[in-house]
C-alpha cells in the first residue's frame, strides 16, 4: 500500500509532498487500518478552506480524498502527520 500526502496553502503557500510505501513494514497493518478509516471519512471534492489554512490531498493506492484544516478528523490528522514525518 502506497500512501501519499500533498499539503498546500498556509501563510507562505509552500507545497509539501511525502509518500510512504507500507509494504513489508512490521507496522503495515496499523498503517492500512488508519488509511482505510481516512478514506471512509474523506471527501472527493475540496472542502472549504480558512484563510492561511492548509489543504490536503491524501492518496492511498490511487484513491484520493481531500481535507482541510481545521476540519480534519483525528484519523486524518494522525495519518497526515505520520506520512509527512516518515515519508520521502
Interatomic CA distance for residues 48 and 82, integer angstroms: 24
The pLDDT tens digits for 7-46 are 999 888 889 999 999 999 999 999 999 999 999 887 777 7
Query: Rounded CA gap, 68 and 71, in Å?
Result: 6
Confidence band, pLDDT 50/70/90 cuts, at residue 69? confident
Residue that is written with C-alpha cell 472549504 in the block: 48
Residue pair 64/46 in contact by the 8 Å Cβ criterion: no
What pTM was computed for the model? 0.90
User: Is residue 85 over pLDDT 90?
Assistant: yes
| Closest by CA position to 18, among listed 79, 72, 65 | 79
Contact between 59 and 35 (Cβ < 8 Å): no
Amino acid at each position: 500500500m502506497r500512501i501519499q500526502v500533498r499539503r498546500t496553502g498556509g501563510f507562505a503557500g509552500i507545497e509539501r509532498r511525502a509518500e510512504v510505501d507500507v509494504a513489508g513494514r512490521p507496522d503495515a497493518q496499523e498503517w492500512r487500518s488508519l488509511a482505510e478509516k481516512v478514506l471512509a471519512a474523506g471527501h472527493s471534492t475540496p472542502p472549504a478552506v480558512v484563510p492561511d489554512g492548509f489543504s490536503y490531498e491524501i492518496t492511498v493506492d490511487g484513491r484520493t480524498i481531500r481535507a482541510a484544516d481545521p476540519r480534519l478528523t483525528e484519523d486524518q490528522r494522525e495519518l497526515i502527520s505520520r506520512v509527512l514525518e516518515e515519508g520521502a
